[in-house]
Amino acid sequence: MPVTRIVMEGSPVVNSQRLLERFLRYVKIDTTANDASTAAPSSPGQLELGRLLVEELQALGIRDACQDPYGVVLATVPATVAAAETIAFCAHLDTSPETSGSGVKPQVIRDYAGGDLVLPGDRSRVIRHGECPELEQMLGRTIITSDGTTLLGADDKAGLAVIMETVAWLMEHPESRRGAIRLCFTCDEEIGRGVDHLDLDRVGAAVCYTLDGPGADTIDVETFSADLALVTIRGVNIHPSIARGRMTNAVRVAAHFIQALPRDALAPEATAGREGFLHPYELHGGVAEIQLKILLRDFQDALLAEHADRLRQLAAATMAGFPAATIDVAIRPQYRNMAAGLAREPRAVSYAQHALARLGRQAQLASIRGGTDGSRLTALGLPTPNLSTGEHTPHSPLEWTCLEEMVQACQGLVSLAEVWVDGLTG
Q: 11: helix, coil or strand? A: coil
Per-chain mean pLDDT for the chain: 95
pLDDT in tens, 237-289: 999 999 999 999 999 999 999 999 999 999 999 999 999 999 999 999 999 99
Task: Give ranges for CATH 3.30.70.360 in the chain.
Answer: 225-333
Q: Identify the helix (H) or strand (E) that includes residue 182.
A: strand 181-186
- Could you give the CA distance from residue 190 to residue 360 in angstroms, rounded to a whole number? 34
- Could you give the CA distance from residue 41 to residue 185 in angstroms, rounded to a whole number? 12
- Could you give the CA distance from residue 132 to residue 107 in angstroms, rounded to a whole number? 18
- Number of continuous H segments (helices) and E segments (strands) in the chain: 10, 19
Strands 181-186 and 386-392, bridge-based pairing = unpaired
DSSP state of 165: H
What value does the mean pLDDT take over residues 1-30?
A: 78
Query: What pLDDT is attached to residue 2?
Result: 36
Q: 115: helix, coil or strand? A: coil
Residue 174 has pLDDT above 70, yes or no: yes
Residue 3 has pLDDT above 60, yes or no: no
Closest CA to 376 of 109, 195, 162: 195
What is this structure's pTM? Answer: 0.91
pLDDT in tens, 350-387: 999 999 999 999 999 999 999 889 999 999 999 999 99
Task: Give ranges for CATH 3.40.630.10 in the chain.
Answer: 5-223+337-422
Query: What pLDDT is attached to residue 7?
Result: 42
* Torsions phi, psi for 60 (to 5 deg): -85, -5
What pLDDT band is residue 414 in, cutting at 50, 70 and 90?
Answer: very high
Residue 95 forms beta bridges with which residues? 32
CB 164 within 8 A of CB 22: yes
CB 157 within 8 A of CB 23: yes
The beta-strand segments (E) located in 24-167 are 66-67, 73-77, 87-92, 107-109, 117-118, 126-127, 143-145
- CA dihedral (393, 394, 399, 403) in degrees, to 10, reads 90
Percent of the chain surpassing pLDDT 90: 96
Query: What pLDDT is attached to residue 426?
Result: 59
Strands 107-109 and 207-214, bridge-based pairing = unpaired
DSSP state of 103: T
* Torsions phi, psi for 194 (to 5 deg): -55, -35
CB 385 within 8 A of CB 373: no
| Class in CATH terms, 5-223+337-422 | alpha beta
What value does the mean pLDDT take over residues 226-237?
A: 97
Query: What pLDDT is attached to residue 424?
Result: 81
CB 307 within 8 A of CB 331: no
Catalytic residues: 94, 189
What pLDDT band is residue 218 in, cutting at 50, 70 and 90?
Answer: very high
Query: What pLDDT is attached to residue 372?
Result: 85
CB 397 within 8 A of CB 151: yes
What value does the mean pLDDT take over residues 309-329?
A: 98
CATH of 225-333, one of 3.30.70.2740, 3.40.50.1820, 3.30.70.360, 3.30.460.10: 3.30.70.360
Query: What pLDDT is attached to residue 11?
Result: 81
Of residues 9 and 350, which shows the higher confidence score? 350
- Could you give the CA distance from residue 250 to residue 235 in angstroms, rounded to a whole number? 4
Query: What pLDDT is attached to residue 10?
Result: 63
Residue 4 has pLDDT above 50, yes or no: no
- Could you give the CA distance from residue 102 to residue 147 in angstroms, rounded to a whole number? 12
In order, the DSSP letters of 32-53 are B--TT--SSSSSHHHHHHHHHH
